[in-house]
Chains A and B, each alone.
Chain A
C-alpha cells in the first residue's frame, strides 16, 4: 500500500506541527493547515492526493462541521476523521451523520490515531477500486 496521505487541520499551529512530525516518523505522508479555509485551499491545489483529513471541531472561521460539509461535497472520496478537544455528544453525532469516518477526542493515543488513519485510507482505496472496477457507488 502506498503511504497514507493525511492533512491535519487545527488552529493550534504547534499541535499540527507536532502531529506532522510524529506521523511522518510512522511513515504517514502528513501535511497541515490551520483553518478550514486553508484546508480547502490546500486540497484545491495539492499535488499529492490526500486520503484522509483530520479535522479539529472548534476553529476560528469555518468550524469543523462546516469544513466537513464543504469537504464531503467537493471531495466525496476523501475520508474525514474529527479530532475534537471538546467532547460533545451532539456535535459528534452531527459529524458522523455528515459522513465523518470517526470522531476521536484529544488527547489522542498516537497508535490509535495511526490505526484509524490506516483504516480510513483502506476504506477510501476499496471504494476507489470498486468504482474503477464497475459503476457501483461507494459504501456509505
Chain B
C-alpha cells in the first residue's frame, strides 16, 4: 500500500482522537507533501522562465548557439519531469498517463535535436580533378567551387586534393572529440568574452594534440605522393573549406584558417591546425552570431600546390556596395594575395567597366609599403618594398583586362556576381585560387549631407578613405592594437585600428562602426562588416593618431567623413536591424523544437479536454500538473478530519467570507476550532495581499448608467459559466492556501474569477507572483476594456501581462521580499477596487477618473518608502 493509503487507514478506523504518535506522523506527512508541492511550484516557475527565455530568443534579435538550445531544452525537460514525479506523489499515482505523454513529446524533441546531415560519401580524399560543385557536402563549398572552375570551366587553378568531411568525422570520432568540445562550449558560452577566449584556445589545443587515425594518415600520404609526381614536390597551401559556408548571405570571409607554403613533411600538423581553426575566436563568434550549428560545420581542407605569386589580390565581378554598378573591381598587390585579403597594407584598385566591351574606367594606384613572399623551405614572410615597386602598379592595364575577362566568365557560369581570389604565378599563368558568391548591397537610400554642406559642424576627417561598408553611426572611439584589446571592447564603440585584420571581425556584433588606416573593400573584414551592416571606413591616413580613445564621433562611411560628437542629421532613423539569427540553422532548430514545448492547448480546466492525453506540449504538461497539484493540495486538506489541517474561516472583527487552509507553517500556532484570526496568520504573501485589500475602503459600486445595468443583466443570462450550478467546488468562496512563504487564492466574487499564487521568501530568484483574472458581468466589450485597464495599470509596476479575450494573466518574478510585498499590496488593492468597474468602462471620462485615483492610491500607499 502506498504511504497515503496507510495514512488514511491510520485516520479513519480509529475511534476518538488519534494518538500523539499518529499526529506526529501526520504532521511529517503533511510536511513532506507540502515540501513536494513547493518543489513542484519551483519547477513550474523555472519551466515557465525557460519557456519565456526561448520565446525571447525566437524573436531573433540576440545571437545564440546550439549550447543554448540544448541546455534550455534539457533544463525544461528535467523540470517538467520533476513536476510529474511530484504530482505522482501528491495524487497517489493518479496521473500515470503523464509519463507516457512526456516520453512522446521528448522523443519528438530529440528527433529534431539529433537530426543531422549525413555525409553521403565516405571518401577520405578526393583529387581536384574529380571535384565539382555538386560535391559540396563532401568537400565543402570553397573546394567544390574551385573544382567547378577547374573541371567545368577550364580555368587555371593549382593542382591538389581535398581532405573531406568524411575524413573530418573520422578524425573527431577516433578521438571522441565532439562531446568534449560541446561540453567546453556549453561552459563558456554563458560567461563573458574572456571565457570564450579561454575555451577557444583550449579546444584548439585539444585538436592539435589529437591523433590522426592511421587510415586517414595513409590516404593523405598516398595523395601527397601522387601530387608530388605532378608538381615535382612543390610546397602546399592548405585552405579551409568548411561545410555550412554555402548558405545565402553568409560569407564566412576569413573566419577560418588557411596556411601558406607548407612543407610536405608538415602537412599532417598543418591539417590539424586548419581543423583547429574552426575554433578560432572570430570563427566561434561568427557562427554564434549567424546561428550556425557547430556540429554541422565539418572542416574540409584543400591541399594545393603553392603558387609563388608575382602579384595577387581579390576581384569582384560587380560593385559590392552598389547593385546598379556592374563594373569589375580588382584589388592588386605585389607578391601573394594575402596583403589584400588581410587588409594589412594599401593596395591598387582597377575598375573595369563592361560598357561597350571591357575598358579600364579608373585606376587608383597606392603607395605600397610591403609584400608577402614565400620563404624557400616553408612559410611566408613580409618584405619591405623598395624604390619603384612602391609606387608602380602591381599589374598592368592589360593584365587587369585579362583578369576582368576571367571574372566575367566565372560570373556568367554561376549567373551570380563573384568574389574571386587570384594570383599571377612566376610562370606567367593567372591562377584562380577561390571563388564565392559576392554579396551585393543596394546603395543606401538615405542621402546624407556631405561635410561641405554642413558648415556648422567641423569634420575631423573629410573626403578621405574608402567606403568598405556603407552607412553612418555614432559611438565612442576604442582603438584596438593587439588581440587582447578585444576583451575590453565596449558595446556600441567605434573600432579604430591600424590594419583591417580579419581577427577584428569578432567585434562586429558589438561595434557601431569601423575605421582603419589600411585595407580595402575586398578584404575579409570589409566583407563581414557589410554582412553585419556595420558602417566601415578604411584607408584613412593617420586616423589612429587623429582619433583618441574616448572621443565621441560620428562616422559617415558613405561620404568618407568623421565628425566630433553626435551628428543626428547623418544617422539613420532606425538603428541597423541586422536580424541575423532568423532563418539560420540554429534558429530553425530551436523553432522546430519549440513547437513541442511552447504552445498551450489546455486552457480551460473545466473542459473535458483538460486531461493528460490532451497534453501536446511541455507547456500543456506544466499547465495540467500545476492545476491538479493545487486541487490535490486543497482537497487533501479538506477531505479528511484532522482538524489541525482543515480550513478555517477568517475572523477579522466578524467572520468573513474568506477561508484559509494552512499547508505547513502559515499560522503562528496551531489553531483549534473553526476560525482563524488575522493576527494568527504569518503567511508573508497573504498578509501583503490583505494589507493592500484593506488599505482603502471600497466606495461601493460605481454609479451605473442605464446601459451598464442592462448589459450586466444581459451578460449573466447569456453566459452559462456565470450560473451558480456550474461553480466548481472550491471556486464558490474565497480560499487561501498558505504557508509562511506561499499563498494561493481562488476567488469568485460576483461574476469575477481570480486566482493568485505567490511565493515570497529569502530566495529572491525563486520568488514569483502569478495573477489571473477573468470574467465580469457586463457585456464582452466592457469586460475586455476592464481587462485592458488592469493590464495597463499592472504593466506600470513590473508585471508582465498577457491578455486573451477577457482573461488576464500577470506575472512578476525574481525580486526581493519588499518588492514582492508591494506588488501583492497592489493586487490586493485592485482586487477590491476593480470590482464592477466593467460597468463604467464605456465612459472614457470615468475611466480616466478611476485610472488617476488608483494610480494615486497605489503610489502613495504602497510605493512611497518601499522599492519602486
A interface, CB within 8 angstroms of B: 58, 85-90, 92-93, 96, 102-103, 105-107, 109, 111-112, 115, 119, 122-123, 126-127, 129-130, 133-134, 136-137, 139-140
CA distance A92 to B2 in the complex (A): 27
| B74 CB contacts on chain A under 8 angstroms | 87-89, 92, 103, 105
Contact of B71 among A105, A130, A137 (CB under 8 A): A105
**A105-B75, A130-B3, A133-B24 known; A89+B113 contact, CB < 8 A:** yes
| B186 CB contacts on chain A under 8 angstroms | 85-87, 105-106
| B289 CB contacts on chain A under 8 angstroms | none
**A86-B186, A107-B187 known; A102+B78 contact, CB < 8 A:** yes
B182 beta carbon closer than 8 Å to chain A? yes
6 closest pairs, A vs B, by CB? A87-B70, A85-B183, A87-B71, A87-B74, A86-B183, A136-B3
Asked if A86 and B3 sit within 8 Å, CB to CB, the answer is no
Asked if B106 and A89 sit within 8 Å, CB to CB, the answer is yes
| B179 CB contacts on chain A under 8 angstroms | 58, 86
Q: Report A96 CB to chain B, min CB distance, Å.
A: 5
30 contacts between A and B (CB under 8 A): A58-B183, A86-B183, A87-B71, A87-B74, A87-B75, A87-B186, A88-B70, A88-B74, A89-B70, A89-B73, A89-B74, A89-B106, A92-B78, A103-B78, A105-B186, A106-B186, A107-B187, A107-B190, A109-B765, A115-B765, A123-B35, A126-B35, A129-B28, A133-B25, A134-B6, A136-B3, A136-B25, A139-B3, A139-B36, A140-B89
Which one of B80-88, B269-277, B540-548, B559-567 is at the A interface?
B80-88
CA distance A130 to B35 in the complex (A): 13
CA distance A134 to B81 in the complex (A): 29
CA distance A130 to B27 in the complex (A): 10
B110 beta carbon closer than 8 Å to chain A? yes
B32 beta carbon closer than 8 Å to chain A? yes
Per-residue contact bits, chain B 169-204, to A (CB 8 Å; 1 contact, 0 not): 000000000011011101100110000000000000
B67 beta carbon closer than 8 Å to chain A? yes
How many residues of B are counted as interface, with CB atoms below 8 angstroms from the partner's CB atoms? 43
| A58 CB contacts on chain B under 8 angstroms | 179-180, 183
B800 beta carbon closer than 8 Å to chain A? no
**A102-B78, A139-B36 known; A89+B763 contact, CB < 8 A:** no
Asked if A136 and B81 sit within 8 Å, CB to CB, the answer is no
| B29 CB contacts on chain A under 8 angstroms | 130
Per-residue contact bits, chain B 810-843, to A (CB 8 Å; 1 contact, 0 not): 0000000000000000000000000000000000
B691 beta carbon closer than 8 Å to chain A? no
CA distance A107 to B187 in the complex (A): 5
CA distance A134 to B7 in the complex (A): 10
B124 beta carbon closer than 8 Å to chain A? no
Asked if A87 and B6 sit within 8 Å, CB to CB, the answer is no
Asked if A87 and B28 sit within 8 Å, CB to CB, the answer is no
CA distance A136 to B113 in the complex (A): 42
Q: Report A5 CB to chain B, min CB distance, Å.
A: 19
B573 beta carbon closer than 8 Å to chain A? no
CA distance A123 to B763 in the complex (A): 18
> What secondary structure prevails in chain B residues at the interface with A?
helix
Q: Report B26 CB to chain A, min CB distance, Å.
A: 10
CA distance A133 to B766 in the complex (A): 31
Which of A86, A102, A111, A115 counts the most B-chain CB atoms under 10 A from its CB?
Answer: A86
CA distance A118 to B85 in the complex (A): 19
Closest residue on chain B to residue A128 by CB atoms = B28
Q: Report B223 CB to chain A, min CB distance, Å.
A: 35
Q: Report B173 CB to chain A, min CB distance, Å.
A: 16
| B35 CB contacts on chain A under 8 angstroms | 119, 122-123, 126
CA distance A107 to B186 in the complex (A): 8
CA distance A89 to B596 in the complex (A): 14
**A106-B186, A107-B187, A107-B191 known; A130+B25 contact, CB < 8 A:** yes
Q: Report B197 CB to chain A, min CB distance, Å.
A: 16
Asked if B765 and A86 sit within 8 Å, CB to CB, the answer is no
| B765 CB contacts on chain A under 8 angstroms | 109, 111-112, 115
Q: Report A97 CB to chain B, min CB distance, Å.
A: 8
Could you list 17 further interchain pairs (A-B, Cβ under 8 angstroms) beyond the known A87-B70, A133-B25, A140-B88? Answer: A58-B183, A87-B73, A87-B186, A89-B74, A89-B109, A92-B74, A93-B106, A96-B85, A105-B75, A107-B187, A107-B190, A115-B763, A115-B766, A127-B32, A130-B29, A134-B25, A136-B6
Asked if B77 and A93 sit within 8 Å, CB to CB, the answer is yes
Q: Report A86 CB to chain B, min CB distance, Å.
A: 4
Asked if B89 and A139 sit within 8 Å, CB to CB, the answer is yes
B209 beta carbon closer than 8 Å to chain A? no
Q: Report B172 CB to chain A, min CB distance, Å.
A: 15
B668 beta carbon closer than 8 Å to chain A? no
CA distance A63 to B835 in the complex (A): 59
| B77 CB contacts on chain A under 8 angstroms | 89, 92-93
B595 beta carbon closer than 8 Å to chain A? no
CA distance A89 to B111 in the complex (A): 11
Asked if B110 and A90 sit within 8 Å, CB to CB, the answer is yes
CA distance A33 to B286 in the complex (A): 39
| A107 CB contacts on chain B under 8 angstroms | 187, 190-191
CA distance A79 to B190 in the complex (A): 28
CA distance A58 to B73 in the complex (A): 19
B726 beta carbon closer than 8 Å to chain A? no
B31 beta carbon closer than 8 Å to chain A? yes
Closest residue on chain A to residue B21 by CB atoms = A133
B39 beta carbon closer than 8 Å to chain A? yes
**A126-B32, A130-B25, A136-B3 known; A106+B766 contact, CB < 8 A:** no
**A107-B190, A137-B3 known; A89+B32 contact, CB < 8 A:** no
| B85 CB contacts on chain A under 8 angstroms | 96, 140
Q: Report B80 CB to chain A, min CB distance, Å.
A: 10
CA distance A130 to B109 in the complex (A): 39
CA distance A127 to B33 in the complex (A): 11
**A136-B6, A137-B3 known; A87+B88 contact, CB < 8 A:** no
Closest residue on chain B to residue A100 by CB atoms = B78
CA distance A26 to B88 in the complex (A): 33
Q: Report B107 CB to chain A, min CB distance, Å.
A: 10
Asked if B187 and A111 sit within 8 Å, CB to CB, the answer is no
Asked if A85 and B78 sit within 8 Å, CB to CB, the answer is no
Q: Report B768 CB to chain A, min CB distance, Å.
A: 14
Asked if B73 and A130 sit within 8 Å, CB to CB, the answer is no
Q: Report A123 CB to chain B, min CB distance, Å.
A: 6
Per-residue contact bits, chain B 1-37, to A (CB 8 Å; 1 contact, 0 not): 0110010000000000000010011001101100110
CA distance A93 to B74 in the complex (A): 9
Per-residue contact bits, chain B 139-183, to A (CB 8 Å; 1 contact, 0 not): 000000000000000000000000000000000000000011011
Closest residue on chain A to residue B2 by CB atoms = A137
CA distance A102 to B6 in the complex (A): 28
Per-residue contact bits, chain B 373-415, to A (CB 8 Å; 1 contact, 0 not): 0000000000000000000000000000000000000000000
Asked if B81 and A93 sit within 8 Å, CB to CB, the answer is yes
CA distance A61 to B23 in the complex (A): 48
**A103-B78, A139-B32 known; A87+B25 contact, CB < 8 A:** no
| B24 CB contacts on chain A under 8 angstroms | 133
| A139 CB contacts on chain B under 8 angstroms | 3, 32, 36, 89
Per-residue contact bits, chain B 39-72, to A (CB 8 Å; 1 contact, 0 not): 1001000000000000000000000000100110
| B766 CB contacts on chain A under 8 angstroms | 115
CA distance A123 to B34 in the complex (A): 11
Which of B24, B179, B186 counts the most A-chain CB atoms under 10 A from its CB?
Answer: B186
CA distance A74 to B182 in the complex (A): 33
| B3 CB contacts on chain A under 8 angstroms | 130, 136-137, 139
Q: Report A109 CB to chain B, min CB distance, Å.
A: 8
